[in-house]
A and B are shown apart, each in its own frame.
Chain A
């Protein structure tokens, strides 16, 4: 009952004209970011983070959240029409979306993906509402050892469940953590890793580093691929009434699957550090596995659009839950949002629910509203959105690059941050080319300082004994899970090697 009252007051915050205006603006920007292949949702949110200093935090989070939803919706447009994923989470949409376009059913494919995005967010939002308060109340009892264990869980999910090499994920994580160690030591105040310079004492700020890694780095990758990507014929995108009606009918036909994919997506999103991309692949895989006619997949099956898209969007909403309640981002984009919270002077975690109810419930209520508004925008303006793709590369790239530098400068008015963006653009490009995962680095950058504080506080509590992480029940459970996940790649390698040996062996 309490929850409903809170939600109602949150709706009051989200329905204010200024909030609605900023939300719509965020959605349109997010859709644009989603459509553009050179710019991801994470970079989009990071680029606009500095702007939010000028509005109240509850409006700022609705604005940034809307960019994320817009990017989640918008990434599909280019996937379906041109087989170019605007975002990593819309790669799974190519499998069946692009064949549908080639068969001349692009309108239906788009309508179905927008509608399933909507359903995914709404279902996730209900789970969000139900789980947020209990989880926050539970988290209120967490001390430093529990928090440190949860942080470890966040890092371990990347290592255990990530797609890349575990050693490379560990390098990204360790490098990100080390970057946060630069500057003044948080406990003793001694300069650390500053090598005698004054500029390094301010430390590496999250925003210029992220803008460099995800914004400039992506521009370089995109520029290099520009010639090798084959030219694709432009398919006209128009979503008519008939498409919307048929899309609704299809979703209704596959409603159980849609709901299942959304619920699964939500929980994948809640897992620290994963986010929408694995959820969409998992949604596609599950739908195919349990389908009555799996042979239709990959040839333009509409279920192959509905499942991954609803899962991805549900995961996007789910990834905000641990961010708000525990201060742990569920996805790289949520990590940027988390950095925003710190910037606005808010301390994410359970106390947020008590101290800033307007902020938390405004955000939750805006989930419902944003999903609806975004659906309407998408259905009405898809042709215009697809036209963004036609901005010539030679004009679009300088716009994004200049925006990257201006965005990183205005955060702290430091020239050092501009140089940081340039340097991390190159670092991000090289790491991405060598298949290092960048998301763990972004999450480590946000969580690094806190992880260190919680670790040192815990050790002070226990007089230097690491046993404290295994003698308190919640910490012990989280820590054990984290250790299991850290060990998982080694176990996988061992099994593969044994299998190989068995197959080579005699007989």
Chain B
């Protein structure tokens, strides 16, 4: 756990430094309308800075040798789940919610869930239709659509 602990504490420290810099730019003294815009962020950043230093130091002293991930299998699993979520996000941006959902649900249930193709197809169709009907028809909310929709070739 030690390495992860130190890295995360260092990241928080860097964030705090960035905010302190920003506070100097905005000003943190007494302005025309009370404290200036940088006053409160400066205080919060200092708190973050001090606490992250404390965590960093206690991380250095930690000799327990615990690792961040439970085991290698757990690690690959977490990376796979996050990786597919990244693909889903990219998909939503470029292909719209529905097409991205179809690809994501099929990929996840087949690759990570190891389900039979029939299950994968039925599941994907039901999930996508449920979102489409619920959002577009039920709540009358328009979610991002695919380029095919904008060319008039498909209904989402």
Interface set of A (CB-CB < 8 Å, partner B): 51, 54, 165, 167-168, 170-171, 173-175, 177-178, 181, 185, 187-188, 190, 192-193, 216, 219-221, 223-228, 392-395, 397-399, 401-402, 405-406, 409-410, 415, 418-419, 422, 425-426, 429-431, 433-434, 452, 455-457, 459-460, 464
B133 within 8 A of A: no
Complex Cα spacing A16 to B8, Å: 51
Chain B residues lying within 8 Å of A193, measured Cβ to Cβ, are 19, 22, 41
B155 within 8 A of A: no
**Do A174 and B51 have beta carbons less than 8 Å apart?**
yes
Chain B residues lying within 8 Å of A228, measured Cβ to Cβ, are 70-71, 74
**Do A224 and B75 have beta carbons less than 8 Å apart?**
yes
Select one of B33, B44, B108, B144 contacting A394, CB under 8 A. Answer: B108
Select one of A226, A392, A425 contacting B85, CB under 8 A. Answer: A425
Complex Cα spacing A99 to B109, Å: 35
B26 within 8 A of A: yes
The prevalent SS among residues of B at the interface is: helix
**Do B39 and A456 have beta carbons less than 8 Å apart?**
yes
**Do B12 and A409 have beta carbons less than 8 Å apart?**
no
**Do B81 and A178 have beta carbons less than 8 Å apart?**
no
8 Å CB contacts to A: which residues of B36-68? 36-41, 44-45, 47-48, 51-52, 54-55, 58, 68
28 residue pairs bridging A and B, Cβ less than 8 Å apart: A51-B139, A165-B55, A167-B55, A168-B51, A175-B15, A190-B37, A192-B22, A193-B19, A193-B22, A216-B85, A219-B81, A225-B70, A393-B113, A394-B115, A398-B105, A398-B108, A399-B127, A401-B84, A405-B88, A422-B89, A425-B82, A425-B85, A426-B82, A433-B4, A433-B68, A456-B40, A457-B34, A464-B35
Task: Give the shortest distance, in Å, between B49 (CB) and chain A (any CB).
Answer: 9
**Do A459 and B105 have beta carbons less than 8 Å apart?**
no
Known: A188-B31, A216-B85, A456-B39. A171 touches B51 (CB 8 A): yes
Interface string of B118-156 (1 = CB under 8 A from A): 010001000100010001000101011000000000000
Residue on A nearest B42 in the bound complex, by CB: A181
B69 within 8 A of A: yes
Chain A residues lying within 8 Å of B135, measured Cβ to Cβ, are 406, 410
Chain B residues lying within 8 Å of A227, measured Cβ to Cβ, are 71, 73-74, 77
B97 within 8 A of A: yes
Chain B residues lying within 8 Å of A54, measured Cβ to Cβ, are 139
Select one of B73, B115, B131 contacting A402, CB under 8 A. Answer: B131
Known: A174-B51, A392-B113. A402 touches B82 (CB 8 A): no
Chain A residues lying within 8 Å of B105, measured Cβ to Cβ, are 398, 402
Complex Cα spacing A456 to B12, Å: 26
Task: Give the shortest distance, in Å, between A397 (CB) and chain B (any CB).
Answer: 7
Task: Give the shortest distance, in Å, between B25 (CB) and chain A (any CB).
Answer: 9
Chain A residues lying within 8 Å of B101, measured Cβ to Cβ, are 402
**Do B35 and A456 have beta carbons less than 8 Å apart?**
yes
Chain A residues lying within 8 Å of B8, measured Cβ to Cβ, are 430-431, 434
Task: Give the shortest distance, in Å, between A209 (CB) and chain B (any CB).
Answer: 15
Q: Which 8 A-B pairs have the closest CB atoms?
A: A394-B113, A174-B48, A460-B34, A185-B37, A170-B51, A224-B74, A167-B54, A224-B78
Complex Cα spacing A236 to B1, Å: 39
**Do A171 and B48 have beta carbons less than 8 Å apart?**
yes
Complex Cα spacing A464 to B33, Å: 11
Chain A residues lying within 8 Å of B114, measured Cβ to Cβ, are 394
Complex Cα spacing A426 to B85, Å: 10
Complex Cα spacing A54 to B82, Å: 32
**Do A168 and B55 have beta carbons less than 8 Å apart?**
yes
**Do A406 and B131 have beta carbons less than 8 Å apart?**
yes
Known: A193-B19, A456-B39, A459-B35. A178 touches B88 (CB 8 A): no
The prevalent SS among residues of A at the interface is: helix
Select one of A165, A170, A223, A434 contacting B81, CB under 8 A. Answer: A223
Complex Cα spacing A406 to B92, Å: 10
**Do A430 and B40 have beta carbons less than 8 Å apart?**
no
**Do A192 and B86 have beta carbons less than 8 Å apart?**
no
| Central interface residue in B22, B30, B39, B40, by most chain A CB within 10 Å | B40
8 Å CB contacts to A: which residues of B88-122? 88-89, 92-93, 97, 101, 104-105, 108-109, 112-115, 119
**Do B74 and A434 have beta carbons less than 8 Å apart?**
no
Known: A168-B55, A410-B143. A395 touches B131 (CB 8 A): no
Task: Give the shortest distance, in Å, between B15 (CB) and chain A (any CB).
Answer: 7
Chain B residues lying within 8 Å of A430, measured Cβ to Cβ, are 4, 8
Complex Cα spacing A460 to B89, Å: 44
Complex Cα spacing A410 to B138, Å: 14
Task: Give the shortest distance, in Å, between A111 (CB) and chain B (any CB).
Answer: 34
Residue on B nearest A444 in the bound complex, by CB: B44
**Do A422 and B37 have beta carbons less than 8 Å apart?**
no
| Central interface residue in A226, A227, A398, A459, by most chain B CB within 10 Å | A398
Chain A residues lying within 8 Å of B51, measured Cβ to Cβ, are 167-168, 170-171, 174
Chain B residues lying within 8 Å of A177, measured Cβ to Cβ, are 44
Complex Cα spacing A459 to B34, Å: 7
Complex Cα spacing A220 to B75, Å: 10
Task: Give the shortest distance, in Å, between A480 (CB) and chain B (any CB).
Answer: 20
Select one of A181, A395, A425, A456 contacting B113, CB under 8 A. Answer: A395
Chain A residues lying within 8 Å of B54, measured Cβ to Cβ, are 167
Chain A residues lying within 8 Å of B93, measured Cβ to Cβ, are 415, 418
**Do B26 and A409 have beta carbons less than 8 Å apart?**
no
Complex Cα spacing A362 to B108, Å: 42
Known: A54-B139, A394-B114. A418 touches B89 (CB 8 A): yes
**Do A397 and B81 have beta carbons less than 8 Å apart?**
yes
Residue on B nearest A171 in the bound complex, by CB: B51
Chain A residues lying within 8 Å of B86, measured Cβ to Cβ, are 422
Known: A174-B44, A178-B19, A193-B19. A460 touches B108 (CB 8 A): no
